A and B are shown apart, each in its own frame.
Chain A
Amino acid sequence: MLEVINVCKTFDPGTVNEKKALTGVNLKIDEGEFVTVIGGNGAGKSTLLNAVAGVWPVDEGTIKIDGIDVTGIPDYKRAAYIGRVFQDPRAGTASALGIDENLALAGRRGHSRRLVWGISAKQRAEYKERLSDLNLGLEDRITTKMGVLSGGQRQAVTLLMATLQKPKLLLLDEHTAALDPKTAATVLETTEKIVNRDHITTLMITHNMHDAIVHGNRLIMMNNGNIILDISGEDKKKLTVKDLLNEFEKASGEEFANDKAILS
Chain B
Amino acid sequence: MRSISPLTNFCTRGAYMGAIGEYLSSLSLSGLLSRIPAGVSQGLIWALMALGVYITFRILDIADLSVDGTFSTGGAVTVILIIGGMPPALAVLIAFVCGLVAGTVTGLLHTRLGIPAILAGILTQYALYSINLAIMGFKANTAVSADKYSLVVSGRSVNAAIIVSICFVAVIIALLYWFFGTERGMSVRATGCNQQMSKAQGININLNKVIGLALSNGLVALSGSLFAQYSGFADVNSGRGAIVIGLAAVIIGEVIGDAILGKRMNFAFRMIFIAIGAIIYYLIYTLVLWLKMDSNMMKLFTSVIVAICLAVPYLKNARLNSFRRAGKNSQTAVGGKKDA
Contact B182 A117 (CB under 8 A): yes
Q: Interface digits, A55-86 against B, CB 8 Å rule (1 contact, 0 not)? A: 00000000000000000000111011010101
Kindly state the separation between the CA atoms of A101 and B185 in the bound complex, as whole angstroms: 11
| A-B pairs with beta carbons under 8 Å apart, 11 shown | A53-B200, A79-B199, A82-B200, A90-B194, A92-B200, A94-B198, A101-B189, A102-B190, A108-B201, A113-B187, A118-B182
- A116 on interface, CB distance cutoff 8 Å: yes
Kindly state the separation between the CA atoms of A164 and B178 in the bound complex, as whole angstroms: 25
- A106 on interface, CB distance cutoff 8 Å: yes
- A125 on interface, CB distance cutoff 8 Å: no
Contacts of B193 in A (CB 8 A): 94-97
Kindly state the separation between the CA atoms of A118 and B198 in the bound complex, as whole angstroms: 15
Contact B194 A91 (CB under 8 A): yes
In the assembled complex, the CB of A119 is this many whole angstroms from the nearest CB of chain B, namely: 8
- B294 on interface, CB distance cutoff 8 Å: no
Contact B184 A113 (CB under 8 A): yes
Given contacts A115-B184, A118-B182, contact A93 B197 (CB under 8 A): yes
Residue of A with least CB distance to B190: A94
- B205 on interface, CB distance cutoff 8 Å: yes
Kindly state the separation between the CA atoms of A118 and B185 in the bound complex, as whole angstroms: 8
Contact B197 A108 (CB under 8 A): no
Given contacts A76-B203, A161-B201, contact A93 B194 (CB under 8 A): yes
Contact A118 B181 (CB under 8 A): yes
Kindly state the separation between the CA atoms of A106 and B182 in the bound complex, as whole angstroms: 14
Q: Give the interface residue-count category, chain B.
A: 20 to 34
Contacts of B198 in A (CB 8 A): 76, 94, 105
In the assembled complex, the CB of A142 is this many whole angstroms from the nearest CB of chain B, namely: 15
- In residues 204-258 of chain A, which contact B (Cβ within 8 Å)? none
Contacts of B185 in A (CB 8 A): 118
Contact B202 A79 (CB under 8 A): yes
Q: Give the interface residue-count category, chain A.
A: 20 to 34
In the assembled complex, the CB of A111 is this many whole angstroms from the nearest CB of chain B, namely: 8
Contacts of A93 in B (CB 8 A): 194, 197
Contacts of A110 in B (CB 8 A): 202
Contacts of A102 in B (CB 8 A): 190
Greatest chain A CB density within 10 A among B181, B187, B201 is at: B201
Contact B186 A109 (CB under 8 A): no
Instruction: Give residues in B with beta carbon < 8 Å to A.
Output: 178-179, 181-187, 189-190, 193-194, 196-205
Contact B184 A75 (CB under 8 A): no
Residue of A with least CB distance to B200: A84
- A104 on interface, CB distance cutoff 8 Å: yes
Given contacts A75-B199, A84-B200, A113-B203, contact A108 B183 (CB under 8 A): yes
In the assembled complex, the CB of B191 is this many whole angstroms from the nearest CB of chain A, namely: 9
Contact A117 B194 (CB under 8 A): no
Contact B197 A118 (CB under 8 A): no
Kindly state the separation between the CA atoms of A104 and B190 in the bound complex, as whole angstroms: 11
Kindly state the separation between the CA atoms of A34 and B282 in the bound complex, as whole angstroms: 62
In the assembled complex, the CB of A23 is this many whole angstroms from the nearest CB of chain B, namely: 26
Kindly state the separation between the CA atoms of A93 and B199 in the bound complex, as whole angstroms: 11
Contacts of A84 in B (CB 8 A): 200
Kindly state the separation between the CA atoms of A109 and B186 in the bound complex, as whole angstroms: 13
Residue of A with least CB distance to B183: A113
Given contacts A94-B194, A105-B187, A113-B187, contact A75 B200 (CB under 8 A): yes
Contact A117 B197 (CB under 8 A): no
- A122 on interface, CB distance cutoff 8 Å: no
Kindly state the separation between the CA atoms of A246 and B121 in the bound complex, as whole angstroms: 57
- A114 on interface, CB distance cutoff 8 Å: yes
Residue of A with least CB distance to B193: A94
In the assembled complex, the CB of A198 is this many whole angstroms from the nearest CB of chain B, namely: 18
Contact of A114 among B183, B201, B202, B203 (CB under 8 A): B183
Kindly state the separation between the CA atoms of A84 and B189 in the bound complex, as whole angstroms: 20
Contact A115 B183 (CB under 8 A): yes
Kindly state the separation between the CA atoms of A84 and B194 in the bound complex, as whole angstroms: 14
Contacts of A104 in B (CB 8 A): 183, 186
In the assembled complex, the CB of B94 is this many whole angstroms from the nearest CB of chain A, namely: 22
Contacts of A117 in B (CB 8 A): 178, 181-183
